[in-house]
Amino acid sequence: MYEPGIIKKLDEEVVNRIAAGEIVQRPANALKELIENSLDARSTNIIITVKAGGLKYLQIQDNGTGIRHDNLDIVCERFTTSKLSQYEDLQAISTYGFRGEALASISHIAHLTILTKTASDKCAYKASYENGKLKGPIKPCAGNNGTQITVEDLFYNVLARKRALRSPNEEYTHIMEVVGGYAIHNSHVGFTLKKFGENTDIKTPIKSSVIDNVRIIHGNSIARELLEMEVKDPTLKMSVHGYITNVNYSHKKGAMLLFINHRLVDSPTIRKAVDSVYATYLPKNAHSYVYLSLELDPKNVDVNVHPTKHEVQFLYEEQIIDRIKTAIETKLLSCNSSRVMYTQARLPGATMVDEIVRKTTDGAKVYAKDLVRVDSDTQKIDKFFRVANKQTDRPQTNKTDLTKDYIAVIDDASDRNELDRRKETNRTTNTEANVPMDVDIFEENNEPTNKEITTPRFVFEDEDHLNDIENSVKEPNKTNNINTEPNNKNPIDLIDLESPSKEPNNKNPKDMDYLDSSLVSEPNKNNYPKHNWKSVAVENENISYIDPKESFKTRTFKYERVETKLTSVKQLRYRVENTCSMNLREILANLIFIACIDCNRSLIQHSTKLYLCETSRLTEELFYETILYDFQNLGLIKLSNPLPLEELFVLGLRAQEDEWNPELGDMRELSQQMVELLVSKRAMLLEYFSLEVTSQGELAALPLLVDGHTPFMGALPTYLVRLVTEVNWDSEKECFDTFSRQTAIFYSQPNPDTLEDIVKSEMWKQEHIIFPAIRRNFLPPTSFVSNGAILQIASLADLYKVFERC
Give yes or no for residue 24 binding ligand ADP (CB under 6 A): no
- Least distance CB 129 / ligand ADP (angstroms): 11
- Least distance CB 235 / ligand ADP (angstroms): 32
Q: Which of 27, 53, 54, 100 binds ligand ADP (CB under 6 A)?
A: 100
Q: Report how far residue 806's alpha carbon sits from residue 799's, in angstroms, rounded to the nearest whole number.
A: 11
Within a 13 Å sphere around the CA of 682, how many CA atoms are in the beta-carbon half?
A: 19
Q: Which of 99, 185, 358, 765 binds ligand ADP (CB under 6 A)?
A: 99
Q: Report how far residue 17's alpha carbon sits from residue 22's, in angstroms, rounded to the nearest whole number.
A: 9
Q: For residue 99, what are the CA distances in angstroms to 90, 303, 313, 409, 644?
A: 10, 11, 18, 88, 57
65 binds, among Mg ion, ligand ADP, none (CB under 5 to 8 A by kind): ligand ADP
697 binds, among ligand ADP, Mg ion, none (CB under 5 to 8 A by kind): none
Q: Report how far residue 594's alpha carbon sits from residue 436's, in angstroms, rounded to the nearest whole number.
A: 7
Q: Which of 103, 589, 686, 701 binds ligand ADP (CB under 6 A)?
A: 103
Which residue(s) pair with 585 in the sheet?
none
83 binds, among Mg ion, ligand ADP, none (CB under 5 to 8 A by kind): ligand ADP
- Least distance CB 62 / ligand ADP (angstroms): 5
Sheet of 609-614, strands arranged across: 592-596, 601-606, 609-614, 790-795
- Least distance CB 98 / Mg ion (angstroms): 8
- Least distance CB 106 / Mg ion (angstroms): 10
Q: Report how far residue 25's alpha carbon sits from residue 518's, in angstroms, rounded to the nearest whole number.
A: 61
Alpha helices in 358-429 (DSSP H): 387-391, 399-413, 416-429
Residue 307's CB is within 10 A of a number of other CB atoms, namely: 18
Interacting span for ligand ADP (CB under 6 A) from 101-109, 224-232, 591-599, 719-727? 101-109
Q: Report how far residue 329's alpha carbon sits from residue 337's, in angstroms, rounded to the nearest whole number.
A: 14
436 binds, among Mg ion, ligand ADP, none (CB under 5 to 8 A by kind): none
Nearer to Mg ion, 102 or 701 (CB): 102
Nearer to ligand ADP, 60 or 296 (CB): 60
Query: For 111-237, where are the E strands, in sequence order?
Result: 111-117, 124-130, 133-141, 146-152, 190-195, 200-204, 226-233
Kindly give the interhelix angle for 27-40 and 168-185, rounded to the nearest 10 degrees. Answer: 20
- Interface with ligand ADP (CB under 6 A), residue total 23
Give yes or no for residue 381 binding ligand ADP (CB under 6 A): no
* Under 8 Å between Cβ of 643 and 714: no
780 binds, among ligand ADP, Mg ion, none (CB under 5 to 8 A by kind): none
Q: Which amino acid is at 244?
A: I
Give yes or no for residue 97 binding ligand ADP (CB under 6 A): yes
Please give the residue whose beta carbon sits closest to ligand ADP in the complex. Answer: 97
- Least distance CB 111 / Mg ion (angstroms): 19
Q: Which of 23, 50, 102, 576 binds ligand ADP (CB under 6 A)?
A: 102
Nearer to Mg ion, 37 or 65 (CB): 37
- Least distance CB 149 / ligand ADP (angstroms): 6
Within 601-640, the residues that bind ligand ADP by CB under 6 A are none
- Give Cβ neighbours of residue 612 (< 8 Å, ≥ 6 apart): 402, 406, 597, 601, 602, 603, 790, 791, 792, 793
- The angle subtended at Cα 717 by Cα 713 and Cα 721, nearest 5°, is 140
Q: Report how far residue 368's alpha carbon sits from residue 762's, in angstroms, rounded to the nearest whole number.
A: 12
- Least distance CB 94 / ligand ADP (angstroms): 13
User: Residue 625 in 3-state DSSP?
Assistant: helix
Nearest to 184 by CA among 253, 264, 246, 261: 264
442 binds, among Mg ion, ligand ADP, none (CB under 5 to 8 A by kind): none
Within 30-89, the residues that bind ligand ADP by CB under 6 A are 33, 37-38, 41, 62, 64-67, 75, 80-83
Nearer to ligand ADP, 116 or 187 (CB): 116
- Least distance CB 64 / ligand ADP (angstroms): 5
Within 209-238, the residues that bind ligand ADP by CB under 6 A are none
Nearest to 116 by CA among 77, 152, 158, 66: 66
- Give Cβ neighbours of residue 507 (< 8 Å, ≥ 6 apart): 517, 578
- Least distance CB 145 / ligand ADP (angstroms): 10
98 binds, among Mg ion, ligand ADP, none (CB under 5 to 8 A by kind): ligand ADP
Burial readout 378-409 (b: 16 or more C-beta within 10 A, e: otherwise):
bbbbbebbebbebbbebeeeebeebbebbeeb
Nearer to ligand ADP, 81 or 694 (CB): 81
Please give the residue whose beta carbon sits closest to Mg ion in the complex. Answer: 97
- Least distance CB 291 / ligand ADP (angstroms): 25
505 binds, among Mg ion, ligand ADP, none (CB under 5 to 8 A by kind): none
Q: Which helix (H) or strand (E) holds 698?
A: strand 698-704
* Under 8 Å between Cβ of 144 and 97: no
- Least distance CB 153 / ligand ADP (angstroms): 19
Within 776-795, the residues that bind ligand ADP by CB under 6 A are none
Chain residues that interact with Mg ion, rule: CB under 5 A: 37, 97, 102
- Give Cβ neighbours of residue 328 (< 8 Å, ≥ 6 apart): 229, 244, 274, 277, 278, 290
Footprint on this chain of ligand ADP (rule: CB under 6 A): 33, 37-38, 41, 62, 64-67, 75, 80-83, 97-104, 147
